[in-house]
A and B are shown apart, each in its own frame.
Chain A
C-alpha cells in the first residue's frame, strides 16, 4: 500500500496511462510525417495546415472526450474515444514539428541529394528525415509530456488510468491517492522524456562526433 492505494493498482493504472498516452503519440507521429512533408513540399499548404492542426489543440479535452462518442458512434466508456482524442492532440503538436524538422535540412544538402539522382520519396526518407531527427524528437518530447498530462482528464468520463486517483482522492477527501497519482504521472512523463532523448541520441551519432580537424 502507498498513500492508501495498493501497489498493484498503481501499477495497473500506470500501464493504462502509458497505453492511453503512448499509442496515440506513435500514431500521431505516423500521421504527422506525411502531413508535415506536405507542408514543406507545397509551401502554400503550410500556413493553413499548421494553423488547422494547431487549432485542434485548443479544443478542451473534456469536451472532446464527450463529443467523440457522438461523432464516432462509440460507447462513452470506450478507450477508443481517449485514443482518438489524444492522437488528435499529438497531430496538433507534431505536424508543425515535422514540418520544421524537414525544413531544417540545409538547402545545399537537399540540392546535392537531388543532383546525385535521388527520387523525391527516397531523398525524404534517407536524407531529409534522418537530418530532421533532432527537431522531431524535441517536439515528440513535448507531445509525450503533454499527453501524459491530458490523459488524466479522461478519469472524469470514467476511463481508468492514473487520473482516477485524483477523482478518488477528491471523492474520499483524501490527499493520499492524489499525491500518489501526481508522483506517478511525473515519473511516467520523465521516463518517456528521457527515453525519447536517448532514442534521439542513438539515431544521431554524427552530432556527437568530435570536431577533429
Chain B
C-alpha cells in the first residue's frame, strides 16, 4: 500500500537521516517505525505526506508517487496525529475536528456531522465538543487529535509519537482505542515510537530502525521476539523477550475445575484458599482458610484477586494470572464467569506442548 523505494534523506549539513530505505507498509493494520532517537523514523513518516522531501528515491501510495501530488492536497487525504496533539488552541474541539473536512470543501453540515461522529468514535462527548482544547486533559486532547485525523475517513493515518506525552495509564487506554479504531475502520496506520514495548503491543508489523536511517528488521512482533535479525535488534528488543514473546502465544491451556463458594457460605478451617464468586458466577476474591477458624465468608476477609485470564488469551496472560493469584491458582473466566483455575505448571506444559519454544 505504501512503498518506500530506496529512499534517502540527506540534509545540507551532510547528515543522513534516512539511508536507502526500502520497505512496504501493507494495507490495513498498524505498522510501527521504532528505533532510538536519530534513527530517521520520524523523517521517514514525514516523507509519506511530504512534510519532508526525500533527497533520493520515491514513495508510492497505491502505486502512485507522492511527489506527483500537490503537498496540501496529499496531506488532506492522509490523517495525521502529532505529538502533544498539536490542537488549534483558538478553536473548539468540534472546530478542530472539522479542519480537514472543511479544507476538502465539504459543506458545513456534512463537515459537522463527520466531526461529531469522529468525536464520538474516540470516546468524547458532545459536551466536550464545544470546549476549547485547554479545557481538556492531556489524554482527552490526544483523543481529539485522533478524531481530527479520522474525521474525513482517510485510508491512511500517520501517527508521530502520539502517546509519548501522556501518563502510562492513559497511554494504555489510548493504545487500546487506536487498535480498536484501526480494526473497526480497516484503515492503514503508520505509527512512530521510540518505545519498543508500545511497538510490540500495538504493531501488526514492526520496522526496527537504527541510527543513520537504516532499516534493521521489518517483521511481526512475534517474529521480532523469536528471531531478531541481528545483535542490534536483539538488544533493542530487550532482555525479557523470552517472557514477552509469550504474549503472542495463544495456547490451549486446559483449566482445572475450581470449587467456588458464595459470600456468607460456611467454609470450615483447613480448606486452604477458596475462590468466592457472586450469584452470577463472577469472581469476587479469595478467602484464606488454611488455619484459623471456619465460619461464613465475610466480605472484609476477601483477598484481592490476581489478574484474570480470559479463555483464548495468550500464554503470557495465563502465566501472569497464575503467578499473581494469592492462592497460586490463576482464575480463568469466560464472559466474566469463572470456568476454572490454572497453576503455572499447566501453562508451562501447554507451552512445551507447542514444541518447546513459545513461538
> Chain A interface (Cβ within 8 Å of chain B)?
106, 108-109, 111-119, 127, 130-131, 204, 206, 209-213
Instruction: List, in ascending order, chain B residues with CB within 8 A of A209's CB.
Output: 131-132, 134-135
Q: Determine which residue in B73, B76, B82, B87 has the highest number of CB atoms from chain A within 10 A of its CB, and name it.
A: B82
Indicate if B136 sits at the interface (CB-CB under 8 A).
yes
Q: Is the pair B90, A117 in contact by a Cβ cutoff of 8 Å? A: no
- If A109-B87, A109-B88, A131-B88 are given as contacts, then 19 extra A-B residue pairs at C-beta distance below 8 Å, sorted by A number, are A106-B89, A108-B82, A112-B80, A112-B82, A113-B88, A114-B51, A115-B51, A115-B75, A116-B76, A116-B99, A117-B103, A118-B72, A118-B103, A206-B89, A209-B131, A209-B134, A211-B134, A212-B135, A213-B135
- Would you mind naming 5 contact pairs between A and B with Cβ atoms under 8 Å apart? A108-B84, A109-B87, A109-B89, A115-B51, A213-B135
Q: Nearest residue in B to A131 (C-beta to C-beta)? A: B90
Q: Please give the distance in Å from A70's CB to the nearest CB on chain B.
A: 46
Interface residue from A106, A114, A211 paired with B75 (Cβ < 8 Å): A114
Q: Is the pair A130, B136 in contact by a Cβ cutoff of 8 Å? A: no
Indicate if B8 sits at the interface (CB-CB under 8 A).
no
Indicate if B100 sits at the interface (CB-CB under 8 A).
yes
Residues of chain B at interface, number, CB under 8 A: 30
Q: Determine which residue in B76, B86, B87, B131 has the highest number of CB atoms from chain A within 10 A of its CB, and name it.
A: B86
Instruction: List, in ascending order, chain A residues with CB within 8 A of B148's CB.
Output: 116
| Total CB contacts across the A-B interface at under 8 A | 71
Given A108-B82, A118-B72, verify A204-B135 contact (CB < 8 Å). Answer: no
- C-alpha gap A119/B148 in the complex (Å): 18
Contacting residues of chain B (131-154) with chain A, CB-CB under 8 angstroms: 131-132, 134-137, 145, 148
Instruction: List, in ascending order, chain A residues with CB within 8 A of B73's CB.
Output: 117
Interface string of B170-205 (1 = CB under 8 A from A): 000000000000000000000000000000000000
Indicate if B324 sits at the interface (CB-CB under 8 A).
no
Q: Please give the distance in Å from B153's CB to the nearest CB on chain A.
A: 15
Q: Nearest residue in A to B104 (C-beta to C-beta)? A: A117
Indicate if B341 sits at the interface (CB-CB under 8 A).
no
Q: Determine which residue in B80, B82, B90 has the highest number of CB atoms from chain A within 10 A of its CB, and name it.
A: B90
- C-alpha gap A35/B80 in the complex (Å): 31
- C-alpha gap A77/B49 in the complex (Å): 59
Given A108-B84, A111-B86, verify A117-B135 contact (CB < 8 Å). Answer: no
Q: Return the 8 tightest CB-CB contacts between A and B, nearest first.
A: A112-B86, A117-B76, A108-B86, A117-B75, A115-B80, A206-B132, A209-B132, A117-B72
Given A109-B89, A113-B88, A117-B100, verify A212-B83 contact (CB < 8 Å). Answer: no
Indicate if B85 sits at the interface (CB-CB under 8 A).
yes
Instruction: List, in ascending order, chain A residues with CB within 8 A of B131's CB.
Output: 209, 212
- C-alpha gap A65/B158 in the complex (Å): 58
Interface residue from A112, A116, A118, A130 paired with B90 (Cβ < 8 Å): A130
- C-alpha gap A213/B134 in the complex (Å): 9
Q: Nearest residue in B to A107 (C-beta to C-beta)? A: B86
Q: Please give the distance in Å from A47's CB to the nearest CB on chain B.
A: 21
Interface string of B233-274 (1 = CB under 8 A from A): 000000000000000000000000000000000000000000
Q: Please give the distance in Å from A38's CB to the nearest CB on chain B.
A: 21
Interface residue from A115, A118, A210 paired with B49 (Cβ < 8 Å): A115
Q: Determine which residue in A109, A115, A212 has the highest number of CB atoms from chain B within 10 A of its CB, and name it.
A: A115
- C-alpha gap A115/B91 in the complex (Å): 17
